[in-house]
Copies of this chain bind each other. A is one copy, B any other.
Amino acid sequence: MTDTPLLILGAAFSDEERDRLEAAHSAVYAASHDDIAVLSEDSRASVKALAFKGHNPLGGATMDLLPNLGLIANYGVGYDAINVEDASVRGIKVTNTPDVLNDDVADLAVGMMIAQSRNMVEGDAWVRSGKWATGENLPLNRKMSGSTVGIVGLGRIGRDIADRLAAFKMDIHYHARSEKETPGWTFHSDVVSLASAVDYLVIALVGGKATEKYVSREAIAALGPRGVIVNISRGSTIDEEALIEALENNTIAGAGLDVFNDEPKVDERFYALDNAVLQPHQGSGTVETRRAMAELQLANITAHLSGTDLLTPVN
């Protein structure tokens, strides 16, 4: 009889992350669903908790391979890869790693806004290429402070972004399901109205089916030729085809994007855009925060296996 109460699922785990989980609990590793199916029935029956990382869908079919599974502990705040409904009907709890990554994601959102407005990526290349030394100057860029920003989704990350931008003397607007307690920020009941009122549109929605293409073609058009879109949520939350067209045709001014549909296989049309700052989904990608996320994932697993309260349950 095997006794490996923990299943580590996902090729996205680094060796160091796997080592830490395995040091805490007897564990078996599977890169994908297929690797679970080939585990022995004994081994599968011994699994009580699943440590998950990545974006590959995890649904009922996988859960049914693990008859004693009680917890899916996600690494990350966004758990749209996990079918929570499938988990709930099977009595499986789901946890995520909220809050510990808010600061980093907000920092990168603001960083992309400044980098896009101030043409920083090209500026860096300009210096290094020696072109500056010849006396040639880059075109002037665009002032960010004092302009108007719209936050789409005023959850914890959205608020952390807005709080930072307030220090840049920006006028804060937002759209959320309902009006929230704020320091005088302007509420919009729909995203098109928000887009038409602002210079920068920052998407801080949760992912998943409910928010698919939430920032629609119409919202992108409403933003207009001075508008800049920043997305640090999920590629799915915006109509990516409409976004690419708007960037290619300059019907919006630019974008700062940390997330994409089908990432890491980004639509190659993005590569040629000179009005977008592109980042490889590294909103939470700091040493400090990834460690905090791993610790919170492990704390949830340990809580479940020792029968104490989960720290950050989702369902």
Q: Which residues of A does B touch, CB under 8 Å?
A: 103-104, 106-108, 110-112, 114-115, 117-121, 123-124, 126-128, 130, 132-135, 137-138, 140-146, 163-164, 166-169, 263-266, 268, 270-271, 277-280, 282, 285-290
In the complex, which of the residues B107, B132, B140, B278 contacts A264, with contact meaning CB atoms closer than 8 Å?
B132
Measured in the bound complex, the distance between the Cα atoms of B132 and A117 in whole Å is: 24
Instruction: Say whether B132 contacts A266, CB under 8 Å.
Output: yes
> A103-B143, A285-B140 are contacts. A123–B278 as well, Cβ < 8 Å?
yes
> A118-B108, A120-B121, A167-B164 are contacts. A266–B127 as well, Cβ < 8 Å?
yes
Measured in the bound complex, the distance between the Cα atoms of B144 and A110 in whole Å is: 12
Q: Given the complex, which residues of B lie within 8 Å of A120, measured CB to CB?
A: 108, 111-112, 115, 120-121, 277, 279
Minimum CB distance partner of A113 in chain B? B111
Q: Given the complex, which residues of B lie within 8 Å of A110, measured CB to CB?
A: 110, 114
In the complex, which of the residues B104, B132, B133, B168 contacts A107, with contact meaning CB atoms closer than 8 Å?
B168
Minimum CB distance partner of A160 in chain B? B145
Instruction: Say whether B279 contacts A107, CB under 8 Å.
Output: no
Can you give 21 A-B contacts (C-beta < 8 A)? A103-B143, A103-B168, A103-B169, A107-B114, A108-B118, A110-B114, A111-B115, A111-B120, A112-B120, A120-B277, A123-B280, A124-B277, A127-B271, A128-B278, A137-B280, A140-B286, A143-B286, A143-B289, A164-B167, A164-B168, A166-B167
Minimum CB distance partner of A285 in chain B? B140
Instruction: Say whether A287 contacts B140, CB under 8 Å.
Output: yes
Q: Given the complex, which residues of B lie within 8 Å of A289, measured CB to CB?
A: 143
Q: Given the complex, which residues of B lie within 8 Å of A282, measured CB to CB?
A: 118-119, 123, 138, 140-141
> A104-B143, A107-B144, A140-B286 are contacts. A280–B118 as well, Cβ < 8 Å?
no
Q: Given the complex, which residues of B lie within 8 Å of A118, measured CB to CB?
A: 107-108, 111, 282, 285-286
Measured in the bound complex, the distance between the Cα atoms of B25 and A236 in whole Å is: 57
